[in-house]
Structure 1
Amino acid sequence: MTEAFDAVDVIVHKRDRRELADAEIQWVLDAYTRGVVADEQMSALAMAVLLNGMTRREIATWTGAMIASGERMDFSGLSRPTADKHSTGGVGDKITLPLAPLVAVFGVAVPQLSGRGLGHTGGTLDKLESVAGWQASLPTEAMLRQLEDVGAVVCAAGSGLAPADKKLYALRDVTGTVEAIPLIASSIMSKKIAEGTGALVLDVKVGSGAFMKTREDASELARTMVDLGTDAGVRTVALLTDMSTPLGLTAGNALEVRESVEVLAGGGPRDVVELTVRLAEEMLEAAGRGGQDVRAALEDGRAMDVWRRMLSAQGGDPDAPLPTARHTEDVLAPADGVVTQLDAYAVGVAAWRLGAGRARKEDPVQAGAGVELHVKPGAVVRAGERMMTLHTDTPERFARAEEALQGAVFVAPEGSRPALGPVVIDRIAATDDAG
């Protein structure tokens, strides 16, 4: 067959800072998925996008072409409206676990297609697999049935959604183009739009433990994704949230499930509860079910009931004890004073080195490994007091984890005041829905 374009011409157009035509973009992604455009050619195009950027129209067309490379899900047969949440990833970010059942309490279906952890950020599926019997993979019919009956499902995304993205994602990882905001935004949004949800709330993390280290970059990514969702007819809003300090008091799979259950039981760390409630309110508002007393559903057990049904529907035993690591070691305060800083990235790397995360997607993870925090910024400590407990099945990992934590906690003299900012930094909505 004769191809409509030549890959080199498309690369040169973007290299020379020209806008790509819709037909060029649609062809290059289709041809790449078919194997006509080679990896080295797509690498060159990705680098040109990183260096020269894309317009809103180009990004929307690029995203649409990635969606068109695969199948789309359809939730129109459900009796409930749908809403989803996507987080750009962080340390201790277990919010999906209490959030999905909480939103389902109010008659909104939550189809949470999640992923696995890579590097210092944890994966929702890895966390839930620490629950005995729980299965990540569900056939589409079973997923739809669970959304109708229970109202929430957390499961692995099928390989049929945006296969062009899967191929391009792996390429970006090895060509230094992961940071290209048009490619990040289209990667996330192609899967979310193909998933078929009616409303989407984005949790865009900013800070040391986040992918986006600066508020400026996080805002640009959030705005780009909100525009993509809006242009595709999905009611989309983004929250910029703080990831300079880990969320909650745990980073690690079973440790985070335990903390999530505490939140569902009406307790848990303040920051986790606050972000769960705020995201639930945004999801319900976007799905047309706003104005609910969300916090009450955590406190009176309704969200816990849905959680138990959600786990059971996927083969999980909500009453089974969670795995615990065979070995623990404490990290002690070096001096008396006030904790003014606790670096999220360092805690994430330590949890990863203890076995909670993976360096390559095929690596196994330890269910019980991770970092448990006993203090957060603002806490007063005494020299020799426990600040963290490290958990692992393989004690030879302790030394490398402790290395990652060097300088992660700053203890200032008593009387010092840490700069404690809000969990939610900003809200970015469609331009006709700013607030």
Structure 2
Amino acid sequence: MSALDAISVITAKRDGCELSDTQIDWVVREYTRGGVADEQMAALAMAIVLRGLDRRETAAWTRAMIDSGRRMDLSGLPGPTVDKHSTGGVGDKITLPLAPLVAACGAIVPQLSGRGLGHTGGTLDKLEAIDGWRADVDAADLLRILADPAVGAVVCAAGADLAPADRKLYALRDVTGTVESISLIASSIMSKKIAEGSESLVLDVKVGSGAFMRSLSDARELATTMVELGTDAGVRTVALLTGMDTPLGHTAGNALEVAESVEVLAGGGPADVVELTLTLAREMLVAAGLDAVDPADALRDGRAMDRWRAMVQAQGGDPDSALPQAREREVLYANTSGVMTRLDARAVGVAAWRLGAGRERQGQAVQAAAGVRWHARPGDRVTAGSPLFTLHTDEPHRFAAARAALDGAWDIGDTPPDEPLVIERIGLVPV
């Protein structure tokens, strides 16, 4: 029988031993209840970072996180349920047009989203730029909105009783240098997604300079681990590895990205945002058993826009309200002519964060109107003296730090780069 006390569990993993399901269940349950102290769980998390968890341990850890709270029951909804998760990137506003688009095609989309973390933007922060829109939706309202045939999609914050162990452990890992464990990252994401109750899940795993997973091998390992966890839990799961060396679209910020998303829903928008939105929509519809539906039709005929407006209104927002505008702007200009060959996503994300679009600590307010607009992307021709970036903020003292972040963030040369948007696909659901 494995010992059930915190020190025994910590030392077992420290010494490279496998933890039993019983040990994992106990330590996660007791940590959630307060019976295992923060410093003890921090020591265990560090041991896991250094020693790792195998597939069985990772699955057991994920189950224990799910069992720390309630599971949502979506079985009574009038259609197939499918969700999407992105591991975070710069200019990644894909959820905003994607959720209403997939709902317009007949699926039901319960999208539990988060806030910005470091240089990456948060979906909830973006939507809160819309007047009146609320991120907190209780369980009864969530089911009511999802069951409404005119809506069928919700983008909201996870309830406090959904995988509460993850909420507590995530905050601890963030301040103890124990974020970098693929098993802990995968279990954090998948515990919430499995507890949410969707039948199918599509994962957008970013890889590149602007992603948390900078190497292809790490991104592939994370994607494979999450697909295995979802599949083992009975959720039809597929992952796409998508490039994040270059930021998506032409904007990073909150209101700026909402405006760009509305352009996509109106039938326009940046080509890369449209391409990734449609690619993920097709994966979600296949997973939901609706592969005969072409989401491009719903963009063209206005059905996706109708769902967007209904979704915003269902959560208290006014889709016709003017989006916030920054009080101050500054333009950076090109000093040479040629083809843009590189635009560093991380640098752009840090610039947007420094302008006020992100937060320096949990709970801090963000500026709805702050951010960066870039006027050229890799492959575009630029002319000396033409605008490259427009910086937006309410506080002009932030411009200098944002300029410093962008220093050296782009190259201008002769040969356009070849950067595929979708790098690889991992999962059992056929296209």
Give the alignment's TM-score, normalised by structure 1.
Answer: 0.97
Q: Give, in angstroms, the shift of residue 419 of structure 1.
A: 2.2
Q: How do 1:164-203 residues align onto structure 2 when only pairs under 5 Å count? A: 164-203=165-204
Q: Give, in angstroms, the shift of residue 208 of structure 1.
A: 0.5
- Over the matched positions of the two proteins, sequence identity in percent amounts to 68
Q: Give, in angstroms, the shift of residue 418 of structure 1.
A: 3.0
- Corresponding residue of 1:366: 367
- Note if contact 1:240-1:425 (Cα within 8 Å) is conserved in structure 2: yes
Question: Once superposed, what is the RMSD of the aligned Cα atoms?
Answer: 1.2
Distance 1:215 1:42 in 2: 30
Paired residues, number: 428
- Corresponding residue of 1:355: 356
- Corresponding residue of 1:34: 33
- Corresponding residue of 1:240: 241
Q: Give, in angstroms, the shift of residue 10 of structure 1.
A: 1.1
Q: Give, in angstroms, the shift of residue 174 of structure 1.
A: 1.3
One-letter amino acid of the structure 2 residue matched with residue 90 of structure 1: G
Q: Which residue among 418, 427, 430 is the counterpart of 1:429?
A: 427
- Corresponding residue of 1:212: 213
One-letter amino acid of the structure 2 residue matched with residue 29 of structure 1: V
- Corresponding residue of 2:132: 133
- Corresponding residue of 1:86: 85
Give the alignment's TM-score, normalised by structure 2.
Answer: 0.98
- Note if contact 2:83-2:200 (Cα within 8 Å) is conserved in structure 1: yes
Q: Which residue among 408, 415, 418 is the counterpart of 2:416?
A: 418
Q: Give, in angstroms, the shift of residue 434 of structure 1.
A: 7.0
**Can you list the C-alpha shifts for 1:253-307, whole angstroms capped at 9, x where unaligned?**
0000000000000110010000000101111111111131111111111100000
The answer to whether residue 69 in structure 2 is matched with residue 70 in structure 1 is yes
Distance 1:106 1:382 in 2: 42
- Corresponding residue of 1:44: 43
Distance 1:346 1:262 in 2: 25
Structure 2 residues without counterparts, runs of 5 or longer: none
Distance 1:230 1:397 in 2: 46
* Partner SS for 1:384: coil
- Corresponding residue of 1:302: 303
- Note if contact 1:248-1:270 (Cα within 8 Å) is conserved in structure 2: yes
- Note if contact 1:111-1:197 (Cα within 8 Å) is conserved in structure 2: yes
Q: How do 1:376-415 residues align onto structure 2 when only pairs under 5 Å count? A: 376-412=377-413
One-letter amino acid of the structure 2 residue matched with residue 146 of structure 1: I
**Can you list the C-alpha shifts for 1:129-180, whole angstroms capped at 9, x where unaligned?**
1111111111111111110111101111111011111111111111111010
* Partner SS for 2:185: helix
**Can you list the C-alpha shifts for 1:65-123, whole angstroms capped at 9, x where unaligned?**
00011111110110111000000000000000000000001211100111111211111
Distance 1:377 1:420 in 2: 9
Stretches (4+) displaced over 4 A: none
Distance 2:50 2:416 in 1: 38
Distance 1:427 1:434 in 2: 10
Q: Give, in angstroms, the shift of residue 199 of structure 1.
A: 0.4
Distance 1:291 1:80 in 2: 15
**Can you list the C-alpha shifts for 1:157-213, whole angstroms capped at 9, x where unaligned?**
111011111111111111111010000000000000011111000000000100000
Q: How do 1:250-261 residues align onto structure 2 when only pairs under 5 Å count? A: 250-261=251-262
One-letter amino acid of the structure 2 residue matched with residue 24 of structure 1: Q
The answer to whether residue 103 in structure 2 is matched with residue 104 in structure 1 is yes
* Partner SS for 2:45: helix
Q: How do 1:121-160 residues align onto structure 2 when only pairs under 5 Å count? A: 121-149=120-148, 150-160=151-161
One-letter amino acid of the structure 1 residue matched with residue 218 of structure 2: D
One-letter amino acid of the structure 2 residue matched with residue 119 of structure 1: G
- Corresponding residue of 2:21: 22
Q: Give, in angstroms, the shift of residue 4 of structure 1.
A: 6.2
Structure 1 residues without counterparts, runs of 5 or longer: none
- Note if contact 1:118-1:360 (Cα within 8 Å) is conserved in structure 2: no
- Corresponding residue of 1:314: 315
- Note if contact 1:4-1:27 (Cα within 8 Å) is conserved in structure 2: no
* Partner SS for 1:155: strand
Q: Give, in angstroms, the shift of residue 386 of structure 1.
A: 0.3
